[in-house]
Amino acid sequence: MTVTLFFGLSLAELSALAAAVVLVLARWLPPGARRPSTWAGAVVLVVSAIVLAVLGLRWQLVPVLVGGAIALAFAVPILLRRPVRRARWWLALPGSAACLALVLAGAVAAWALPLPVFPEPSGAHATGTTVVQWTDPDRAETATSRTDDKRTVVVQLWYPAQGDPAARRAWYLGRTEREARLVARGQAGYLGLPGFILDEAARARSRSVPDIPAAAGRFPVVLFSPGLGGVRTQNTAWAEELASRGYVVAAIDHPYDSAVVTLDDGRAIRTRVTATGDDAEDNRRAAGWTAVRAADLSFVLTQLDRLDRGEIKGPLTGRLDIDRAAATGHSLGGAAALQAARQDPRFAAVIDIDGYPRDPAPRPFDQPVLALTHDVRQGEEQDYISRLTQVLQLSTATGYRLTVPGSAHLTFTDAPLFLPPLPTLVGSLGRTAGPHITAATTAAFLDATLRGEPGDLATTLSKYGRLTVL
């Protein structure tokens, strides 16, 4: 495992960066310092490049090595003491500036797109994880034309587990390294980015151990639907935190909607979600996707009940308290959670994480609701808060709408851990604050609604932002 020391860089990467900078700047040093500085930079750059080639070279370091290599090529006469006519400073300066810009661009890329490091869960339990695939025999797959194609979902479970400190941790984005790489490339493609951009996320491991025995007890269940084009693992830090606190989290990959879903037979199903540019048509399609997701949530709850009763084999038989289940989701998944709770009274609570309601015929429902929203700026999404408030007011139980200052839409996912820290992209709360706030607020709500724990929930939630109690 590579250990980062500073600026998201390992020791070998820092050494390569420093050596490249020295080689670029050596020409501009006093005459007596040029040759020893060039020799030192050349040796360190070569040794660092060899070490990185052995350990695994990140794409972010390629510009650093290229810039250093170009500078080294022009420094060869200095190393060999060969007489050579030096270019005039005004000719050499643009070349040095270009090499330095190349080197620094690599360093910035390494900082902006680091290997995600997941926070250590704070609860009393170790966390295990397992992945299952379930097919609903009663529902046709509407995304295909085959009449015999039934709706299939892939579900990842995080659960309180018996600790094993020596066990190998699970890959973040998939069951295997291959699947993790495939999912990372699929997400990058969905976002219109080069496939290699999310390579660091593909290399990451979470804090959970695959398929280890569950801890003793019966645990409330939290079902999760990701955002449009999102994948089941997009809120892993949140899921692991809840599992450590005694919840079972079941996150769903929705085929033909999630960016890429890998089935047991090896097929990779990529999203078929497209925008038309026509607002009315896009809203109609979003309502359709939401309805499918809401049905997926109810189906998964049924399967979890069967798993608990032993009708389906798995490590969680006898561990699931289905009577204490919450429907949750992010973005379009949050809209699906609201709709699933309205349609399925088995859900005892619902959490909408920054999701615009899509139910075309909202009606009263009985579950308490927590809605987390990003810091909506003046002039954007003008009907979001009003529409959300109208739906929350349909609940016969207490609802909570919490707006988190400094947040953006992706603040509530794992994205701040590995995407560039741009306020418009992941908010201005830093790498770890967003996942922490998401876990702390939702855990407080679940403790109160599913476990009946005493305390002033409104006071707890208001610590994290602007709270409206409905």
The model's confidence at residue 453, banded by pLDDT at 50, 70 and 90, is very high
Residue 132 CB neighbours (<10 A): 19
Tell the CATH topology of 126-469: Rossmann fold (3.40.50)
Domain boundaries, the chain: 4-112, 126-469
Cα-Cα-Cα-Cα dihedral of 403, 407, 412, 413, to 10°?
Answer: 170
pLDDT 10s digits, 20-40: 999 999 888 888 888 889 899
User: Which residue spans within 46-113 are E strands per DSSP?
Assistant: none
**With the C-alpha atoms ordered 415, 416, 417, 422, is the resulting torsion angle positive or negative?**
positive
The per-residue pLDDT for range 40-75, each reduced to its tens digit, is 999 999 999 999 999 889 999 999 999 999 988 887
Angle at 338 between CA 345 and CA 371, to 5 degrees: 125
User: Which stretches within 122-262 are classed as H helix?
Assistant: 177-190, 199-203, 236-244
* Alpha-carbon gap, residue 152 to 295, rounded angstroms: 12
Tokens representing 344? Answer: 């399925």
Q: What pLDDT does 89 receive?
A: 61
Which whole-number Å values give the CA distances from 55 to 44, 86, 172, in the listed order? 16, 38, 20
- Do residues 59 and 196 make contact, with C-beta atoms less than 8 angstroms apart? yes
Residues 41, 24 contacting (CB under 8 angstroms): no
Question: pLDDT tens-digit profile of 206-234?
Answer: 999 999 999 999 999 999 999 999 999 99
Query: What does each C-alpha distance from 219 to 49, 54, 222, 446 come to in angstroms?
Result: 50, 45, 10, 12
Look at residues 409, 331, 324, 418 and name the one whose alpha carbon lies nearest to residue 367. Answer: 324
Beta bridge partners of 156: 131, 251
Residue 256 to residues 147, 194, 278: CA-CA distances in angstroms? 16, 21, 21
pLDDT tens across 236-253, in order?
999 999 999 999 999 999
* Separation between Cα atoms, residue 397 and residue 409, nearest integer Å: 26
- pLDDT tens per residue, range 411-449: 999 999 999 999 999 999 999 999 999 999 999 999 999
Q: Which residue has the tokens 């890959």?
A: 171
pLDDT for the residue 234:
97
Task: Provide mean pLDDT across the span 306-310.
Answer: 97
CB 435 within 8 A of CB 406: no
For the chain, give the mean pLDDT: 92
